[in-house]
Amino acid sequence: MNQSNQLHHAIKIDPDKCRACTHCLKVCPTEAIRIRNGKATIIPGRCVDCGECHRACPYQAFYVEQDDLSRIFDYKYRVALFPAVLVSQFPENISEEQIYAVLKQIGFTHTCEVEQPISVLIDSIKDFVKNEYDGEGPIISSFCPATVRLIQVKYPALTDHLVLRNAPHDLAAWYVRMRLAEEGIDPSDAGIFYITPCAAKIAAVKSPVGEKKSIVDGIINMSEIYNRVMSNAPGTKGVLHSCDCRHEISSEGILWSLPEGEKVAFEGKSLSVDGMHNVIRILERLEDGDLPDIDFLELRACEEGCAGGIMMTGNRFLTADRQHKRAKTFPKAQSSSGMEEIAEKLRIAPVQPRPMVHLDTDMEKAFEKMQKARSIMCHLPGIDCGACGAPSCLALAEDMVRHEARMTDCIYIQQLWQKEGKISAEKAFRNLEKKWGENRFDVDCSKHGAKNDNGPGLMNEEEDANLY
């Protein structure tokens, strides 16, 4: 019944690295993480790929799936599609020319900034506002895929507010296809690879919202490119390749992924909100009918927009600052006339709600379970420590009525029951081991902050030994 299971997720957990430290539990905005058998696990129907867990993990146990860079050589022509934040995350001593040159060095034959054809999107959004949107209240940006998914899962009644237009990476992919065709390149010979600043965009590319299939052929992690540029750029003489239509790069395009970037496409009052928890607060208010008249609501899951994406290495504020400076050196976006064909591709079908199933799909059963959970809450301590493997006492109570957890998962209840003689110390400890793994309570000096903490780098004992 849980249709959200069909959604693709780009965030994964490496069980070998996970130490079930519960940092991720607490930061997940949809309570999608539980600790089971000593490892963090993600409930797929709840995850929106925002990456808060990835940020919070001290052991780098969360990773973002990507395609191997060598896969680009499956194609005769290899296109790097990348957002403007790629350029601005590098320190000033690395030039734009050098960054472009390293991309060519890696093996890309063509490069294209995703916001290059932004005028098409601006005009298309204006058209949507004028001729298509007939809802009440603000139009909500569909740029950030994590916030779109958040709305589908947690604020399903608000899906009608979303702009029914593709994100820039889709637009740019169509645009590149058009340019390649103009060069006489057979589409089957060309592979388009998107270099992503976040996990949500990967998820969106693999299972696009309101659209059948994405036209991007592969995904490359921003951090991988960051490393390549940092090691190779200094010795590189920068040459801006001539065929890449850089004359189309515009100041609006460069600023698009930052807070207030989309403002240019909207007349009237707009409000820009960045950061997952801020986004949640504003959506709650919108749902309550408690927002002043706003025509457009721009949402970004990451603070400072894509400059703060989880795959970004540079500091988000420095990146955003450089991006603003860079934008000033480029002209305003030109007219989109002549690109009507691409404009058509930007339309997407209405975004479907995917409300998460909380207690039961049957409302009457859900009702009973909720009453039960409320009774259970009377007994739980309300400390929200996470030692049960659920993010809060309430979440544990709900897991219990769904038969996914037990009273003894609560360490305080266990303690109480031991005192009352209801459970033996032996049994209580076995329960703990079941939850947290058998060797969890052994002395371990490699954990974070312990005397042999070697940082999050090599975790392989053999390799470590060779180094010393």
The reply on whether position 134 binds other proteins by CB under 8 A is: no
Which of 366, 411, 432, 459 touches other proteins (CB under 8 A)? 366
- Which of 265, 302, 297 has the alpha carbon at shortest distance from 282? 297
Please state the separation of Cα 37 from the chain's center in Å. Answer: 26
Window of 25-33, 36-44, 92-100, 349-357 that interacts with other proteins by CB under 8 A: 349-357
3-state secondary structure of 447: coil
Which of 74, 287, 341, 444 touches other proteins (CB under 8 A)? 287
The reply on whether position 294 binds other proteins by CB under 8 A is: no
- Which of 247, 109, 246, 245 has the alpha carbon at shortest distance from 185? 109
Minimum CB separation of residue 33 from other proteins in Å reads: 18
The reply on whether position 135 binds other proteins by CB under 8 A is: no
Q: Please, is 189 exposed, middle or buried when counting C-beta atoms within 10 Å of its C-beta (0-12, 13-18, 19+)?
A: exposed
**397-416: contacts with other proteins (CB under 8 A):** 398
Window of 25-33, 300-308, 330-338, 368-376 that interacts with other proteins by CB under 8 A: 368-376
Q: Could you tell me if 210 and 351 are in contact, meaning their C-beta atoms sit under 8 angstroms apart?
A: yes
- Which of 341, 332, 343 has the alpha carbon at shortest distance from 182? 341
Token pair, residue 139, equals: 């139009």
- Which of 76, 104, 99, 29 has the alpha carbon at shortest distance from 326? 99
Which of 92, 290, 420, 461 touches other proteins (CB under 8 A)? 290
Q: Considering beta carbons, is residue 235 or 292 the nearer one to other proteins?
A: 292
| Count of residues in contact with other proteins, rule CB under 8 A | 25
Window of 31-39, 104-112, 286-294, 304-312 that interacts with other proteins by CB under 8 A: 286-294
Which of 74, 284, 340, 444 touches other proteins (CB under 8 A)? 284
The reply on whether position 289 binds other proteins by CB under 8 A is: yes
Q: Which residue has the tokens 């902050």?
A: 449
Element (H, E) at 278: helix 276-287
Q: Could you tell me if 194 and 173 are in contact, meaning their C-beta atoms sit under 8 angstroms apart?
A: yes
Q: Considering beta carbons, is residue 374 or 448 the nearer one to other proteins?
A: 374
Phi–psi pair at 305, nearest 5 degrees: 60, -145
Minimum CB separation of residue 91 from other proteins in Å reads: 44
DSSP-assigned letter for residue 130: I
Q: Considering beta carbons, is residue 158 or 171 the nearer one to other proteins?
A: 158
Which of 96, 353, 406, 433 touches other proteins (CB under 8 A)? 353
Which of 17, 126, 358, 379 touches other proteins (CB under 8 A)? 358
The reply on whether position 136 binds other proteins by CB under 8 A is: no
Q: Considering beta carbons, is residue 153 or 265 the nearer one to other proteins?
A: 153
Q: Considering beta carbons, is residue 199 or 400 the nearer one to other proteins?
A: 400
What distance in Å separates the CA atoms of residue 17 and residue 28, rounded to the nearest whole number? 19
Which of 93, 134, 212, 363 touches other proteins (CB under 8 A)? 363
Q: Considering beta carbons, is residue 371 or 454 the nearer one to other proteins?
A: 371
What residues have CB less than 8 Å from 14, skipping those under 6 apart? 61, 62, 63
Q: Please, is 361 exposed, middle or buried when counting C-beta atoms within 10 Å of its C-beta (0-12, 13-18, 19+)?
A: exposed
3-state secondary structure of 186: coil
Can you give the binding site for other proteins, defined by CB under 8 A? 154-157, 284, 287-290, 292, 353, 355, 357-361, 363-364, 366-367, 370-371, 374, 398
